[in-house]
Amino acid sequence: MAFTTINKSTDYFETLKYSNAGDGAKAVTGLDFTPDWVWLKALSANMYHQSHDSVKGVSAGPLYPNDPAAIDTGYPLSSFDSGGFTTGAQSGNEGQNSASHVAWCWRAGTTGSGTTGGSGTSKSYNYSVNTTSGLSIIKYEGNGTNNHQIPHHLGVAPKMIIFKNFQSGYSWDTYHHNIGNAHRLYLDSSVIKQSATNFLNSTTPTSTYINLGDAGHTNHNGTNHIAYCFANVTGYQKCGFYVGNGNSDGPTIITNFKPAMVFFKRTEGGAANWQMWDNKRDTYNPVEKALHPDIANQSSNDQDIDFLSNGFKIRSNQNHLNASGNKFIYYAVAEAPIVGTNNVPAVAR
């Protein structure tokens, strides 16, 4: 059995559904923590995903995961609050104030700053980290030089990192340990993994540093970037992969916890949208309401998977979920562990 030091996953991650018909700021509550990263999506319209975090600051405005545009300073959230957040008061701001929403919320919390290392000119960085839950959010300035080292403060090597140069229109470069340090995926695109030796300088992140190449997406000289770093945490969070079998009785993926949210991406064989599910929009199996981080569409309802007490199972033979022989990378975070240190087992749906 898989034991974890996290007995209550909702101390670190939670999905909220909320409604906000009409314009005006709205206090969204229901969390057991003050969030440091909120990713929200309007459900009732084809509107952009939004990413807000405490390191850039809520007043900075959103980044759009489905779009390579620079930060949109016109549409900030009002605040991150104890137990939730408050939306912006503006109208038309890509869905903050339309009727129905989902928000995926993470807690980091330990903050600091410093200067980067490695080759080239040292640059400033700020961070918020939670070593218990394996999340680090880093804002750093690029120096345009191979071997630019960015401290991540997790204490263990991150297994997935989502980067954005938020002052320029570069794509959202995504590292996942199961595609290696010389390839990247784009969060805002359906394309398969791309060869990129200048992305991470062909160097796997260590327990201390992210080692960057000279790519403008992630290390443009004098430009600010954000990096969301995830470490594997037994019984709570996992970055892994599966191989499709092309059958409606698809693979069973063992995470050693009941998922609260899962997203994954086909990495080879053909383009496919990112897929994203959670336990608040689908409260029973099959889980069907897939959202797609790379497009602004409303959820599609033909994306069958099951959430299990110890992982998830693919229930479709569609190529974007289960192409035979193709690798799919995933990120999953827990609703509940199989068995925590309090010895309370999770139950199936």
pLDDT tens per residue across span 238-269 = 999 999 999 999 999 999 999 999 999 999 99
C-alpha–C-alpha distance, residues 67 and 189, integer Å: 8
What's the whole-number mean pLDDT along residues 230-245? Answer: 97
Q: How many CB atoms lie within 10 A of CB 211?
A: 21
- CA atoms of 306 and 269, how far apart (whole Å): 24
pLDDT over 80 (residue 23): no
User: In this predicted model, what pLDDT tens digit does every residue of 261-314 receive, in sequence order?
Assistant: 999 999 999 999 999 999 999 999 999 999 999 999 988 776 789 999 999 999
Mean pLDDT of 38-47: 90
- The answer to whether 187 and 174 have CB atoms below 8 angstroms apart is yes
Q: Which helix (H) or strand (E) holds 320?
A: helix 319-322
- Give the pLDDT confidence score for residue 338 in this predicted structure: 61
Query: Which pLDDT belongs to residue 345?
Result: 52
For residue 20, name the pLDDT band (cuts at 50, 70, 90).
Answer: confident
Query: Strand order of the sheet with strand 305-308?
Result: 252-254, 311-314, 305-308
What phi, psi does 329 have (nearest 5°)? -95, 155
Average pLDDT estimate for 338-342: 53
Residues 37/47, Cβ–Cβ less than 8 Å:
no
